[in-house]
A and B are shown apart, each in its own frame.
Chain A
Amino acid sequence: MSQLSLAVELAGLGLRNPTMNAAGVLGMSSYQLKRLYESGAGAVVTKSLGRQPRNGHPNPTIVFVEGGVINSMGLPNPSAEYFRDEIKRLKAENIPVVASFFAASIEDFTYLASILTDAGADALEINCSCPNVGREKCMLEADRESLEKVTKAVREASSLPVFVKLTPNVANIVEGAKIAEENGADGITAVNTLKALAVDIDLRKPILSNIIGGLSGPALKPVALRCVWELFENIEIPIIGCGGVSYWRDAVEFLLCGASAIQIGTALMDHGVELFKEVNEGIRRYLEENGFRGVKDIVGLAHET
């Protein structure tokens, strides 16, 4: 008997399975991304790339807390221009690449979208939701007007599928998603990290140099699931679930709530890059044991009454 296929179609992209790494996790070079693909990811997502190289915030940039980590990397990246060759290297090996990027102006968003498209990326992911840089560095989420302008500009600059990655740090995540959808986004990635802080009682100081960072890992999962659920009820475009996926069961939960694909970040710390295989095997077993024919069959299934 042949194995059940985990292949999915995501906004026109054909992927061998529904898993990817989360942006910013092991996406600093084509070498790292290739390793993730070889470990079983269906597609790979680059570090969020900007117009200029950035060193990010000084250390400490990560702190371990119960249920996950808080990071304030501050979007270190070698610049989109520099990364073009890395993308080309991945494409030379037929690895599906989602290019994540951020900018401070509409002009830069347009420029970056076009050079990443030319470099051969398969899809674009707009990071307009990083909690780690001030407004001047990155157009922030909650701002409806910039979300509209950014999505529109990127849509016009590129023919690739465009995913908009949203933050959970808003009262109503549906609002932003609708704006993105209306302005031509092909999918929504939900979610980025939750704003958080850690303080040391001996030195009586916040631990992160940036004071505030973003919480990811298991503690984020229920929030991310709630976001995916609400999005599925309110938008038509596919959703990529992200936040705390650590075991195959978590991935299935996201699919049931309405995600068409999932991204994995923090869990790679404890489970290693082998996690992609384990998650995919788990999804496959779940589908087989429950008589489903493919991933698509369970997307949003928990919504059916």
Chain B
Amino acid sequence: MRREVHRVVKVEEVKQEAKDVFTLYFKDNFCSSASPGQFIMVWIPGVDEIPMSLSTINQKGVSSITVRSVGEATRILCETKVGEKIGVRGPFGNGFTLKGSKPVLVGGGTGVPALYPLASKMLISGIKPSFILGARNAEQLLFKDRLQEILDDLIISTDDGSLGFKGYASECLGRLILEKKCDSIYTCGPEQMIVSIFKEAERRNIFVQASLERYVKCAVGLCGSCGIGPFRVCKDGPVFDSISLRAVMNELGFKKMDPSGRLIPVEK
């Protein structure tokens, strides 16, 4: 069988992360051998099929997705009970490439869980990353305990200052770069955050890998619905490096394709 084929998996465990965020754990051989940064398509029969990053990869044979409830499909996923079944296919996309010896990972919102497998992989490879964990407020911080458990250098940043650094994760990053002299940045989170981080990094000449989101349908690089510039988020991405990011600056943070292929504004 190929990883593109639909499978149905049983949800083994559900963990509530925040008011509207849940992690669903399941076993799947293809997901167990995924690269950090890859995503899967999750099928909720009769409702939708949507892209989700893997937030755990093969911990004792188990993988997970971490879902924020923002609409119908994610709401139903968040209500999933242990023992219920979901459809999956994938993993898809490129994933992150390990580069640099002093990396910093910057995660915002549901972008944080997607960076967790990357942090684990770095540690296994003998690299000790710094990690900026960002959210709107303390209640919305995801994976705080899990990250604290494995990392020496976890920096918390909340927009409202309810915990840690007060301000945007990108501002926190600016300071950290000066302090730690990091040589590479990995980021996943809201698009405007990624734009700020990329600009900060460009000013300081630091290499970035950022995970982007666009409307995914086929997930195998055929239909073109996930286009950003000449690239496809599902196949050329979802992780894009500085060189590719430079090539899409006229769209990043400004425009995205809607499901019909029209360019519409990106949320500010």
A, B from the same assembly: yes
Report which A residues bind B (CB closer than 8 A).
Answer: 24-29, 31-32, 34-35, 47, 53-56, 58-65, 69, 71, 73, 76-79, 82, 198, 200, 202-203, 205, 207, 209, 265-266, 268-269, 272
CB of A28 within 8 A of CB of B259, answer no
- Report the separation of the CA atoms of residues A207 and B89 in the bound assembly, to the nearest whole angstrom: 12
Given A65-B5, A79-B262, A200-B87, 20 additional A-B pairs, CB 8 A: A25-B224, A26-B224, A28-B224, A32-B230, A47-B261, A55-B258, A58-B47, A59-B217, A62-B222, A76-B217, A77-B260, A78-B260, A78-B262, A202-B8, A202-B85, A205-B45, A207-B43, A209-B49, A265-B222, A268-B222
- Report the separation of the CA atoms of residues A25 and B224 in the bound assembly, to the nearest whole angstrom: 7
Q: Which of B2, B87, B232 contacts A203 (CB 8 A)?
A: B87
Q: Does B195 contact A (CB under 8 A)?
A: no
- Report the separation of the CA atoms of residues A211 and B232 in the bound assembly, to the nearest whole angstrom: 26
Q: Does B6 contact A (CB under 8 A)?
A: yes
With A31-B229, A32-B224, A202-B85 already in contact, the answer to whether A62 and B260 are too (CB < 8 A) is no
Cβ of A107 to closest chain B Cβ, rounded Å:
22
- Report the separation of the CA atoms of residues A305 and B81 in the bound assembly, to the nearest whole angstrom: 67
CB of B230 within 8 A of CB of A69, answer no
Report which B residues bind A (CB closer than 8 A).
Answer: 2, 4-6, 8, 41, 43, 45-50, 85, 87, 89, 217-225, 227, 229-230, 232, 257-262
Q: What are the 6 closest A-B residue pairs judged by CB atoms, nearest first?
A: A28-B224, A59-B49, A202-B8, A64-B4, A78-B261, A55-B259
Q: Which of B48, B222, B260 contacts A25 (CB 8 A)?
A: B222
Q: Which residues of B contact A77 (CB under 8 A)?
A: 260-261
Cβ of B228 to closest chain A Cβ, rounded Å:
9
Residue of B nearest to A25 (CB): B222
- Report the separation of the CA atoms of residues A269 and B3 in the bound assembly, to the nearest whole angstrom: 13
Cβ of B218 to closest chain A Cβ, rounded Å:
4
CB of B259 within 8 A of CB of A76, answer yes
- Report the separation of the CA atoms of residues A24 and B217 in the bound assembly, to the nearest whole angstrom: 13
Cβ of B107 to closest chain A Cβ, rounded Å:
26
Which of the listed residues A77, A78, A268 has the most CB atoms from chain B within 10 Å of its own CB? A78
Q: Which residues of B contact A56 (CB under 8 A)?
A: 217, 259-260
Q: Which residues of B contact A55 (CB under 8 A)?
A: 258-260
CB of A60 within 8 A of CB of B49, answer yes
- Report the separation of the CA atoms of residues A61 and B87 in the bound assembly, to the nearest whole angstrom: 14
Residue of B nearest to A86 (CB): B261
CB of A203 within 8 A of CB of B45, answer yes
CB of B230 within 8 A of CB of A34, answer yes
CB of A207 within 8 A of CB of B6, answer yes
Cβ of A9 to closest chain B Cβ, rounded Å:
29
- Report the separation of the CA atoms of residues A77 and B223 in the bound assembly, to the nearest whole angstrom: 11
Q: Which of B6, B8, B46, B257 contacts A28 (CB 8 A)?
A: B257
CB of B261 within 8 A of CB of A29, answer yes
Q: Which residues of B contact A59 (CB under 8 A)?
A: 41, 43, 48-50, 217
Q: Which residues of A contact B47 (CB under 8 A)?
A: 58
Q: Which residues of B contact A203 (CB under 8 A)?
A: 8, 45, 85, 87
CB of B8 within 8 A of CB of A76, answer no
CB of B217 within 8 A of CB of A62, answer yes
Q: Which residues of B contact A268 (CB under 8 A)?
A: 221-222
Residue of B nearest to A56 (CB): B259
